[in-house]
Amino acid sequence: MADPVVVKICGIKTTSILDAAIDAGADMVGFMHFTRSPRHVSIEDLATLIGEARGRVQTCVVLVNPDNSCVAEVAALGPDWIQLHGPESPHRVEAIRAEAGVEIMKAVPIGSAEDIGHVGQFTDVADRILLDAKPPKGADRPGGLGRSFDWNLLKALDPSIAFMLSGGLTPDNVADAIQLVRPFGVDVSSGVESAPGVKDKRLVEAFIRNARAQ
């Protein structure tokens, strides 16, 4: 029996959706601290959500190219993970990990075979790798923005690299993605929303159920 896939529900803004994700069996929950995102959560609300989740589920705060004061402010809240979702270099990731004292997940955008070659730079400086779709040209924020990338590109990835898969996942395609790609975990945000930033409890439940069916 393979280990069950880790399921992360990201972009949570309310305690009701947090509770729904935990009740449905999520392994990790993610909160965005990035003002340009429709899922942005303030430091005050982050503190509340992390407090509510503590001891029930692993928490992850998503930051985009944060400065040291932002890292320190978020790390002080005691999340289990900080996810770096910007253009951070391997050196910067390593510095943030040393500074924050919490586990670091690094998102690497994938859009071409060339991008696969960049993944290995981060395996020693981050505790976990997240592969996400490269944002379209001109996008004002990182991430796949609800789009998936060509999963066949991952055939060229070093098989020893464990990773979480993100980008365009939904309750309808997550089972296929797990079977095809064999990720360590899956991460969803917009794929379980009824509108940008508005999570749908039934979609969250369906996503976790379908991911667990593998």
187 an active-site residue?
A: no
Catalytic residue among 10, 27, 60, 187: 10
Written as six digits, the tokens of 191 are 């794929």
Handedness of CA 8, 85, 104, 52 (dihedral sign): negative
70 an active-site residue?
A: no
- Spatial distance between the Cα atoms of 142 and 84, rounded to a whole number of angstroms: 10
> In sequence order, what E strands does the chain have?
6-9, 28-32, 58-63, 81-84, 103-110, 128-133, 163-165, 185-188, 193-195, 198-199
Catalytic residue among 124, 132, 150, 200: 132
- Spatial distance between the Cα atoms of 191 and 21, rounded to a whole number of angstroms: 14
Nearest to 182 by CA among 9, 59, 6, 26: 6
Nearest to 201 by CA among 6, 5, 26: 26
- Spatial distance between the Cα atoms of 62 and 42, rounded to a whole number of angstroms: 12
Decide: 104 and 81 in contact? Cβ < 8 Å: yes
Active site members = 10, 132
